[in-house]
């Protein structure tokens, strides 16, 4: 498979790229900073320099053309303000979904956040983040041309992955290593039966492949 990842230098994305390369897939990561290209090559991915805050749908669709799946794993980052939550966490996610439809790439995975809700209330930057993620999720779910799966991890950690997770429509609060988030994404990319699902993810007791299959209803 060829899989294109938005936010290709993110912590989850780099882990995912290594997994995909190890499994014989072809990964391409979209990055804004050319200085990050070598890190992607080291992870076994093709770097594609493109700023999703200023790119056109046509430019992104050209990158996606011929891909088997698209993964939106971009984010404005913890040090950014509310304005960039809107332009990256919502705007870039919407752009990426539109481009995937235009390129004919149906399988579409989105990494979002537990608690994402377009109607979330509050005046803090994190509140703006949850609203932006929620609005983006709602937009992706509205696209008839996408076989989407929305993944909402709990609190992310840099602990070593265990390969054991809880993956369901509702898991309750919890944490999960970024290693395991990447492993679930890799599995979801090859699980078309998970299309149309919004899934929460925390650490648990079920192996990633088994948990993904169960969440997809065995499809």
Q: Dump the DSSP string for the chain.
A: -EEEEESTTSHHHHHHHHHHHHTT-EEEEEES-GGGHHHHHHTTEEEEE--TTT--HHHHHHHHTT-SEEEE-----TT--HHHIIIIIIIIHHHHHHHHHHHT--EEEEE--TT--TT---SSHHHHHHHHHHHHHHHHHT-TT-EEEEEEE-EEE-SPP-SEEEEES---S-EEEHHHHHHHHHHHHT-GGGTTEEEEEEE-SEEHHHHHHHHTTT-
The active-site residue out of 96, 129, 150, 201 is 129
* Rounded Cα distance, 191 and 186, in Å: 9
139 catalytic residue (yes or no): no
Per-residue burial over 4-43, b = 16 or more CB atoms within 10 Å of its CB, e = otherwise: bbbbbbbbbbbbbbbbbeeeebebbbbbbeeebbebbeeb
Active-site residue list: 129
């Amino acid at each position: 498979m060829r899989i294109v990842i938005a936010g290709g230098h993110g912590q989850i994305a780099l882990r995912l790229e290594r997994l995909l390369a190890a499994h014989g897939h072809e990964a391409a990561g979209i990055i804004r900073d050319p200085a990050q290209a070598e890190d992607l090559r080291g992870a076994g991915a093709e770097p594609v320099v493109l700023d999703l805050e200023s790119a056109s749908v046509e430019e992104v669709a050209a990158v996606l053309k011929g891909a088997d799946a698209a993964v939106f794993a971009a984010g404005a980052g913890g040090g950014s303000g509310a304005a960039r939550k809107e332009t990256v966490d919502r705007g870039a996610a919407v752009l990426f979904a539109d481009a995937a439809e235009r390129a004919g790439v149906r399988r579409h995975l989105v990494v979002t956040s537990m608690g994402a809700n377009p109607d979330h209330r509050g005046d803090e930057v994190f509140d703006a983040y949850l609203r932006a993620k929620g609005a983006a999720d709602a937009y992706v779910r509205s696209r008839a041309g996408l076989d989407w799966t929305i993944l909402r991890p709990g609190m992310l950690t840099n602990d070593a992955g265990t390969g054991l997770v809880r993956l369901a429509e509702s898991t309750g609060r919890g944490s999960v290593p970024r290693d395991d988030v990447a492993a679930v994404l890799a599995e979801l990319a090859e699980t078309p039966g998970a299309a149309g699902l919004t899934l929460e993810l925390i650490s648990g007791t079920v192996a990633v492949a088994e948990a993904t299959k169960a969440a997809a209803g065995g499809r």
